[in-house]
Amino acid sequence: MVDNYQKVLSDIYEQFNFVKTINFSEDIDTENSCYYQVDKDMGSLEILISEVNKICLDDYIKVFGELILDNSGVIVKPTVNQEFGDISYVSASLFVDKYINTNKNSMIVFNFERQNGSFLLFRLCNKHFQQIMQRIISGKAEYGKAAFSDKVSQTLDLIFSDSGLTIIPRIGIELQQDSSILMPLQSNIVEMSINIKHNYLIINGKKFRVPLLSAIDDDYTGINIISFIKQAQLNGEIATIRELSCGRAEGFVRLKDISLEGRTAQVLAIYKGNPELQYYDFKDNCWQIIKQNQTIDVEKALRLRIRMGVEDQVLKVIIVEPK
């Protein structure tokens, strides 16, 4: 871990001939990289998700309300007073007919847009809750508090509203602990990544530690999405789901080839965590791990990639030549 970032940079420029600093906005080969982001505050490179498994349109099942499928995503339109006792509210609910194995796919990506005045509830649930939902959909049980009043079903509700994000863990219908407002939201367009195993989420590029994410004590997680709004404010498209995916919490970010034919280069990085830099050996046609202080004789182009976990951050990658 780098404690004195500026001093490390100064030492690098004194000891080596500078060639290039990688620009994370321009020098990444996006087609051959996993999902990543550049942190807005630190400018560091971080991965979000790899081996992406997208939730397809066929995986969504309407519980109540209206769903409209079009090129922009899944539009969720409240039409009925089903979820709440207050008759001034209308709601819609959809259920994802697929388990997510969080040992293999610990990252969940959820991107959406909602209308002012509306609420969007993104619910993670354990296998027992999922089974209750399947019974309701098949007509073997009725939707309501009675169906979920047992002490076996677990859910974690992430509720997005004009006030911000509220997180509510439940066992059955009872709160496990006090709910908490995590943060105000600056936009109704939200890009969210959830890491269940490491207890954090990223919202519109900012990372937050959220111990409540481990409230679901199950290796198989289900998803239920509910949109609701006061009927008097109902106006057109209330919420649109742009993307819902799951995947692994580690992967590769590949850089565009750097033209250094016939030169000797060293690749230096300033980072936090344990990322692994690799270069492509054109002679042996394989990727090689870059060892500390290693020099690389570049025959064609310098081709690099970084193996990262979601806990890793790369602040700088600098190409130098020995003096």
State residue 86's pLDDT score: 61
Query: Per the structure block, which two tokens stand in for 150?
Result: 């047992």
Q: C-alpha dihedral over 296, 300, 301, 302, to 10 degrees? A: -20
DSSP state of 147: G
Range picked from 26-30, 46-50, 55-59, 212-216 for highest mean pLDDT: 26-30
Tell whether the model's pLDDT for residue 71 goes beyond 80.
no
HEC letters along 207-271? EEECHHHHHCCCCEEEEEEEEEEEHHHCCCCCEEEEEEEEEECEEEEEECCECCCCCEEEEEEEE
CATH of domain 51-248: 2.60.120.200
Mean pLDDT of 153-168: 88
Mean pLDDT of 68-80: 83
Domain range annotation of the chain? 5-29+255-322, 51-248
Q: Is the pLDDT higher at 252 or at 136?
A: 252
- pTM equals 0.77
Q: Which CATH class is domain 5-29+255-322?
A: mainly beta
Interatomic CA distance for residues 225 and 120, integer angstroms: 7
Same topology between domain 5-29+255-322 and domain 51-248? yes
At 286, the pLDDT band (50, 70, 90 cuts) reads very high
State residue 77's pLDDT score: 85
Tell whether the model's pLDDT for residue 1 goes beyond 50.
no
Closest of 303, 268, 269 to residue 283, by C-alpha:
303
- Cα 159 off chain centre by: 17
